[in-house]
Structure 1
Amino acid sequence: MRTGLLCVLLCWIAPALAANSSLSLADLAASPRWQALMHVNPGATLRDRGRSYIDDDNYFLAKNGKDDVLAELRATLAALEPAKAPERCRYPARYRFLAGHLDWQEDAPFAHCEEYSRWRSAVHASRAVLVFPAAYLNSPSSMFGHTLLRLDQGKDSAVWLSWAVNFGAVSTEADNSFFYIYRGLAGGYPGRFALVPYVQKIQEYSHMENRDMWEYTLDLDQQEIDWLIEHLWELKDINFDYYFFDENCSFRLLELVEVARPGSQLLTELRFAEVPVNTVRALDDRGLISERHYRPSKAVELDNLRRQMTAQQQRLARAL
C-alpha cells in the first residue's frame, strides 16, 4: 500500500520536476539545506562520515534514512504531500523545503497541527545570539566553557523573555564526575536539544556559578531564524550521540546554523575537538557575527564596585 502510494506521488511530482531540467530528486537530496536538515556529516568528524549524526530511528521516515538521504527524501514526499497528513505536524521544516521546491501552495498547511501551532505561537524570535559562558572548573562538562543559543523576540526586548537553545548529554544525578567524563569521552550518553527560558540560564551561569558570559549576535534574517525554529521542533526528544571533545554543545549549534544558512561551510573541516572559542572563531570567519556584548558575573560586578571604594569604605563594608 505504501509503495503504491509512493509511486502515485512520484508520478504526480514528475511534471513539476521536469519543468526545471536542473531539478531532480537527486538534486534535492544533495542540496545543502536537505543535507543540513538530515545532519549529514560532511567529514567534520571521523565517526559516521557521510551519514546522519542523528542516532534516533524516530527521526527518519525511511528504514535506511540515516544512511541514504535520497531514500529519506522519497519517504518524506510520500508522507507530507497529502493534505492534513499527520507527519506534517512533525516535520514543518521538511514541509517548507518541499513546498518551496515543488510549488505546493496551501494557505494553512498546519491548520490541523494543534500542538505545533501552540508551540510555534509561543516560540518566536527576530534575533539569534550565540552565548558563551566562561569555563567552570567545578563542572567537567564546562571545563572549556559552554555555548548555547538565545532567541530574542526583538532587538530591544528584555532578555528575560528570550528562549535558550541548549544541547547537552542526557545523564543522571547518580553519575559522578569521573564516570561522567569516561562516558562522555566514549559516547556513552545520548545528547538532546532543549528549549528553556533564558532567565534560567542567567541565574545558573551568572548568579549561581559566577561565570562571565559573552554574547555574539548572529547575522541571520527572519527567514533564516524561522528555519532554525521550525527545525528545533523536528528535533524534539530526538537523540544524537554525545562526545565530550568533538560532537558536543558547540558542534551541534554549528549544525543548527547550517540549517538556517546552508552552505556556510561551518562543518567541512576535520576536527578532533570542538571548543567554544573555535566555534566563535568559525562563525566570525564566515561573517556570521554582527555584534558583541560582554555580560559580567555578579562576582565580577561586585569586585569592580569594591575597587572603586576607598580603603576606609572597604573596611566599613567588611565590618558590616
Structure 2
Amino acid sequence: MFSTAYASNADLYNLSEQSIWSLLIHSKENRAQITDPKFLLSAGSFSAQSELKLTLEQFQQHPYETFCRFPARISYLSEQMKFDLPEDRFSKCPELKAFLEHVPFDSLELVYASEVLSSATSMMGHIFIKASGLNSRAIPVEHSLAYYTEITTFNPLKLVIESTMTGMPGFFSVKPFAKDVEQYIKKEQRNLWQFSLQATPGQLHLLQLHIWELNQVNITYYFQSFNCATLTLEMLALLEPSLLKHRGTIVSPADVVKAAVTEGVVTATSLDTAPHWLFHALRDSIAQKDAKEIDQLVFARKSLTNETRRQQLIKLAADPLAARYITSVVERAIEQDVLESGFTVPTASKDVIFDFTGYKHPAKTPQDSAFGVTWLQDEYNSRALLHYLPAGHFLHNDNRQYLSESELIIAKVSVAVTPDTNKIQLEEFTLYSFRSISPDHAAFPVLSGEFYLGYRQSYQQDLQLASAFEVSGALGKSLRLHRDIISYAMAGAGLTTDVTHSKAFIYAKAGVVMNLIGDTKLYIQYEKSTGKIKNANKFADTTAILSWFPDRDHSINLKLNLVGSKKEQRTQFGAEYFYHF
C-alpha cells in the first residue's frame, strides 16, 4: 500500500502538473470546473496539488472506499507512483463492477449529431462518445456516454442568464446507443456522424473508469465554458493530450470533430443518415433534370396510371444514385398517401453501398467564433465597425458544408467608430438570432423562418439610424431554384423599445442566396417594414452582399444597401473582413 510519507513535495507537485491529472480532476488554469464535493476533495481551497495530496491521503486511510469513488484517479496514480493496488478492489465496488461488465470499452467512437437551429439545446449540434464491445455475457452492446442539460424555461433572457452566468444542472447519461438513433435520426431528422478513435486498451480502461466517476456527481452546465463539447474534448484528451490545443474560449461540437481529425486520432468515419438529409444528398448527386422529372412523376402528374408512372421511373433508375433517389421519393409519397402503399419501382441499386461521408462534413465548416471589421460610407458620413461573434455563423458566410443556408448569432457585439466626430458607440448586441433558409419540397415540406432577440439599429423617420431593443420573428418558405441557388420569402412581426417608447411592427422580406464560382457567394434581400422604432415611417430596404472565401476561416465582403421611404433615399457602401477562429 502507498504512504504519502514516501513522496516528496516536489514529486507531488510535478505529478499534479501533468496534463492527465488535470484532465482527471477537470482543472483548467488551476480552476476547478466540477465543484461537487463528491468529486472535489479540495473544494474549499482548490489546487491541482492539494487535490492530489488529499486523494492520496484518503486512499491511504480508506483504500477500498476511495478506489470505489475515484477508480480512474487511483489507477493513474498507482501507475505513475509505482504502488500496488489491492487485487480484490473491484469486488469491493459492486456498482463499479456492474458498470464495467455491462458497459464494455472494447472500442470507442466520437458521435456528432447534426445541428438544429430552432432548438436552443441543439443549435450547434451535439457531441458524445459511443463505447462498444462484448458485455459479461459475451453479447455485443453499444452505449452512448453524453453530457447535456435540459431547458426548463421559455423566457429567453432567463435562459441566457442561467446558461452563461448562474449555470444550469448538467446531466451525464449512459444509455443504449439505439435510443439515440431513434431520437436523432427518426424523430429529429438529424444525422449521426461516427468517428472511430485510436486508443490503447489501457487508455480505454482509464476513460471507462473516469466516466464512472463523472456519472456519480453533479456537474454545472455553462454554454460558453463547460458544455457537452468541452467535457467531451477533455475526456478524449485522456487518449491524446494534444487535443487540448483546440480548447478555445468556447468549444462547439464541430470543434471536437475538427480537433480529433486534426490530431490524427480518427481511424475511420461512418454516417447514419436521416431520411431528410439523405434525400437532399441524393438530389444533389444526380442530374438536375432527372431530379425534376422524378419529382414530377411522383408528385405532380396525377393523371398517369401507376403502371405508366412505374415504367417511366424505371427508365430513370439506370443510375444507382437516381434509383436510390426514386426509392426515397416514393417512400415519402406513400407516407403522405400520394401513392398507394403497394407502389414499388424495381431497381438494381439495393445492394449498392453509397458513401456520403465526404458530403457536408462537420470538420469542413468554418470556425464558430469570429472577429471582423467593416468600413461603411454613405451620404452622411463614414464609419468603422468592429465585430466580435463568440459563437455562430452568418447567412453570407461559407455555408456549403451545412445542409441548407442558415444563420446563427449568439452574443454578437458591434462597436461603431465615427472618425468625423470621434464618436464611439455600441451599435449592436445580438443576444440570440437565427435564420433557417431550408428549401421546401413536396417530399419534405418545411418552413423557413427567423428569430431575433437583442439590441440593434433601424431607420428613423429621416432614415438616420438609431438603436433599440428588439424581439421579432418571421415564417415563410424557401425554394431551391438550382443546386447553388435558394430563394426565400417570409413575413413576420416584432416589438422594439428604447425604454421610453415601445413600438410594434410588421415586415416582409424576400431574397436569394447564390453560391458562385471561385469560392464566392451573392446574397440579395428586399425587405418592407412599417417602421421599427419611434416615429419611423414605412421603408423599403434592399441589401446585396458579395462574399469571397480565400480559405475556410477568412471572408471578405462587399456590401451595398439601398433604403427608401416616401420622402427620403439613402445609399450605403461597405467593405468587410472577418476572421473565423
TM-score bucket of the superposed structures, by smaller chain: 0.7 to 0.9
Q: Report the alpha carbon displacement of residue 184 of structure 1 after superposing the two structures with TM.
A: 1.8
Q: Report the alpha carbon displacement of residue 86 of structure 1 after superposing the two structures with TM.
A: 1.4
Q: Report the alpha carbon displacement of residue 188 of structure 1 after superposing the two structures with TM.
A: 2.7
Residue 288 of structure 1 is matched in structure 2 by 265
Q: How many angstroms apart in 1 are the aligned matches of 2:204 and 2:26?
A: 17
Residue 22 of structure 2 is aligned to residue 35 of structure 1 = yes
Q: TM-score, normalised by structure 2?
A: 0.46
Residue 250 of structure 2 is matched in structure 1 by 273
Whether contact under 8 Å (2:246, 2:259) holds in the other structure is no
Residue 7 of structure 2 is aligned to residue 10 of structure 1 = no
Whether contact under 8 Å (1:213, 1:295) holds in the other structure is yes
Structure 1 residues 58 and 107: alpha-carbon distance in aligned structure 2, compared to 1, 3 A threshold = closer
SS in structure 2 of the partner of residue 24 of structure 1? helix
Residue 172 of structure 2 is matched in structure 1 by 193
SS in structure 2 of the partner of residue 191 of structure 1? strand
In the TM superposition, what whole-angstrom CA distance separates every residue of 1:154-193 from its partner, at most 9, and x where no partner exists?
7xxxx98311011112544xx2272434422334303232
Q: Which has the higher contact order (CA 8 A, sep 6+)?
A: 1
Residue 339 of structure 2 is aligned to residue 319 of structure 1 = yes
Residue 108 of structure 1 is matched in structure 2 by 88
Structure 1 residues 115 and 73: alpha-carbon distance in aligned structure 2, compared to 1, 3 A threshold = same
Structure 1 residues 302 and 285: alpha-carbon distance in aligned structure 2, compared to 1, 3 A threshold = closer
Task: Look up the equivalent residue of 1:161 and give its one-letter code.
Answer: V
**Percentage of matched positions with identical amino acids:** 21
In the TM superposition, what whole-angstrom CA distance separates every residue of 1:208-230 from its partner, at most 9, and x where no partner exists?
00111211111112211111110
Whether contact under 8 Å (1:187, 1:242) holds in the other structure is no
Pick from 235, 240, 253: which aligns with 2:219?
A: 240
Residue 125 of structure 1 is matched in structure 2 by 105
Residue 37 of structure 2 is matched in structure 1 by 57
Pick from 6, 9, 13: which aligns with 1:26?
A: 13
Q: How many angstroms apart in 1 are the aligned matches of 2:180 and 2:161?
A: 26
Whether contact under 8 Å (2:40, 2:51) holds in the other structure is yes
Q: How many angstroms apart in 2 are the aligned matches of 1:275 and 1:62?
A: 29
Whether contact under 8 Å (2:167, 2:221) holds in the other structure is yes
Residue 146 of structure 1 is matched in structure 2 by 126
Task: Look up the equivalent residue of 1:143 and give its one-letter code.
Answer: M
Task: Look up the equivalent residue of 1:164 and give its one-letter code.
Answer: S
SS in structure 2 of the partner of residue 55 of structure 1? coil
Q: Report the alpha carbon displacement of residue 79 of structure 1 after superposing the two structures with TM.
A: 1.6
Q: How many angstroms apart in 2 are the aligned matches of 1:146 and 1:276?
A: 6
Whether contact under 8 Å (1:189, 1:241) holds in the other structure is yes
Task: Look up the equivalent residue of 2:35 and give its one-letter code.
Answer: D
Q: Report the alpha carbon displacement of residue 76 of structure 1 after superposing the two structures with TM.
A: 1.1
Structure 1 residues 23 and 188: alpha-carbon distance in aligned structure 2, compared to 1, 3 A threshold = closer
Task: Look up the equivalent residue of 1:10 and give its one-letter code.
Answer: T
Q: Report the alpha carbon displacement of residue 269 of structure 1 after superposing the two structures with TM.
A: 5.4
Whether contact under 8 Å (2:148, 2:228) holds in the other structure is yes
Structure 1 residues 63 and 135: alpha-carbon distance in aligned structure 2, compared to 1, 3 A threshold = closer
Structure 1 residues 196 and 106: alpha-carbon distance in aligned structure 2, compared to 1, 3 A threshold = same
SS in structure 2 of the partner of residue 206 of structure 1? helix
Q: Report the alpha carbon displacement of residue 295 of structure 1 after superposing the two structures with TM.
A: 1.4
Q: How does 1:80-119 map to 2 (within 5 A)?
A: 80-81=59-60, 85-100=64-79, 101-119=81-99
SS in structure 1 of the partner of residue 144 of structure 2? strand
Residue 427 of structure 2 is matched in structure 1 by none
Residue 225 of structure 1 is matched in structure 2 by 204
Whether contact under 8 Å (2:230, 2:247) holds in the other structure is no
Pick from 233, 236, 244: which aligns with 1:257?
A: 236
Whether contact under 8 Å (2:165, 2:222) holds in the other structure is yes
In the TM superposition, what whole-angstrom CA distance separates every residue of 1:261-302 from its partner, at most 9, and x where no partner exists?
4xx232345623222222111111111111111211133456
Whether contact under 8 Å (2:30, 2:48) holds in the other structure is no
Unaligned runs of 5+ in 1: 1-7, 42-48
Residue 46 of structure 1 is matched in structure 2 by none
Task: Look up the equivalent residue of 1:27 and give its one-letter code.
Answer: N
Whether contact under 8 Å (1:134, 1:211) holds in the other structure is yes
Q: TM-score, normalised by structure 1?
A: 0.80
* Higher Rg: 2
Whether contact under 8 Å (1:160, 1:198) holds in the other structure is no
Tell me how large the CA RMSD over aligned residues is.
3.0
Unaligned runs of 5+ in 2: 284-289, 298-308, 311-328, 341-581
Whether contact under 8 Å (1:79, 1:85) holds in the other structure is no
Which one has the bigger helix percentage? 1
Whether contact under 8 Å (2:64, 2:89) holds in the other structure is no
Residue 204 of structure 1 is matched in structure 2 by 183
Pick from 155, 168, 176: which aligns with 2:154?
A: 176
In the TM superposition, what whole-angstrom CA distance separates every residue of 1:245-273 from its partner, at most 9, and x where no partner exists?
34211111011112334xx2323456232
Q: How many angstroms apart in 2 are the aligned matches of 1:10 and 1:32?
A: 21
Structure 1 residues 289 and 269: alpha-carbon distance in aligned structure 2, compared to 1, 3 A threshold = closer
SS in structure 2 of the partner of residue 168 of structure 1? strand
Structure 1 residues 28 and 213: alpha-carbon distance in aligned structure 2, compared to 1, 3 A threshold = same
Which one has the bigger strand percentage? 2
Q: How many angstroms apart in 2 are the aligned matches of 1:103 and 1:9?
A: 9
Whether contact under 8 Å (1:56, 1:239) holds in the other structure is yes
Whether contact under 8 Å (2:30, 2:47) holds in the other structure is no
Q: How many angstroms apart in 2 are the aligned matches of 1:131 and 1:270?
A: 18
